[in-house]
């Protein structure tokens, strides 16, 4: 029997593939209806998962949040940098097991000015990273510090994904993320 989480994941992956295909073929003229039809779902189903067609181009990062949560839970007793690196390794292995859908989705997002500026997925990531950094401390200064550090870590991840996308196939995303997190190590300590 398929669980709700598995059904959600399968549907989101179908939507991602359909979105990439529609944007590759039609560019930003692709509509929610084009995408829903390609994915074999209703327009209503699409809006159950996203708020706009632009959000559809960023389904992979949203799905990676699940991997992130599982990974940091495995090493919850370690310092923040180690938790982030462990999660980056898990996500990198996930991406590396089938990189083409991610590379195609990135190519679509980078090519379209409407998609390039999309920030919803980043905001979800920043909020989740800030939660991890807070680790139970919630006074105003701690929340502000956590958001600043999470934004810096998200910047590393964004830069690493951009560099990885343009790199030869043998370059490992986890190595690029690790180098970026090394730059941030002094502010995490």
Q: What is the pLDDT of residues 81-113, one digit of tens each?
A: 888 889 888 988 888 888 888 888 888 887 877
Say yes or no: 49 and 72 in one domain. no
Say yes or no: 139 and 96 in one domain. yes
Angle at 49 between CA 44 and CA 53, to 5 degrees: 80
Q: Which of 36, 56, 76 corresponds to the end of one domain?
A: 56
Say yes or no: 36 and 120 in one domain. no
CATH code at 85? 1.10.357.10
Higher pLDDT, 175 or 124: 175
Percent of the chain with pLDDT over 70: 94
> Within 13 Å of residue 173, how many CA atoms lie on the same side as its CB?
26
Say yes or no: 26 and 65 in one domain. no
| pLDDT higher than 60, residue 120 | no
- Those residues with Cβ within 8 angstroms of residue 83's Cβ, 6 or more apart along the chain or in another chain: 71, 72, 75, 76, 132
Q: What domain range includes position 95?
A: 57-188
Predicted model pTM: 0.72
CATH code at 38? 1.10.10.60
């Amino acid at each position: 029997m398929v669980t709700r989480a598995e059904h959600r994941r399968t549907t989101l992956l179908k939507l991602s593939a359909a979105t990439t295909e529609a944007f590759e073929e039609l560019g930003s003229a692709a509509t929610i209806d084009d995408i829903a039809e390609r994915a074999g779902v209703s327009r209503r189903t699409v809006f159950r998962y996203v708020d706009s067609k632009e959000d559809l181009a960023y389904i992979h990062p949203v799905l990676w949040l699940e991997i992130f949560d599982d990974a940091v839970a495995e090493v919850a007793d370690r310092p923040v940098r180690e938790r982030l690196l462990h999660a980056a390794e898990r996500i990198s292995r996930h991406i590396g097991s089938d990189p083409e859908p991610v590379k195609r989705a990135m190519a679509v997002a980078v090519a379209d000015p409407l998609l390039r500026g999309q920030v919803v997925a980043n905001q979800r990531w920043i909020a989740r990273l800030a939660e991890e950094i807070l680790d139970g401390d919630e006074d105003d200064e701690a929340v502000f510090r956590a958001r600043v550090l999470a934004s810096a870590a998200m910047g590393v991840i964004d830069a690493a994904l951009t560099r990885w996308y343009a790199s030869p196939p043998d370059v490992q995303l986890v190595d690029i993320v690790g180098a970026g997190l090394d730059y941030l190590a002094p502010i995490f300590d």
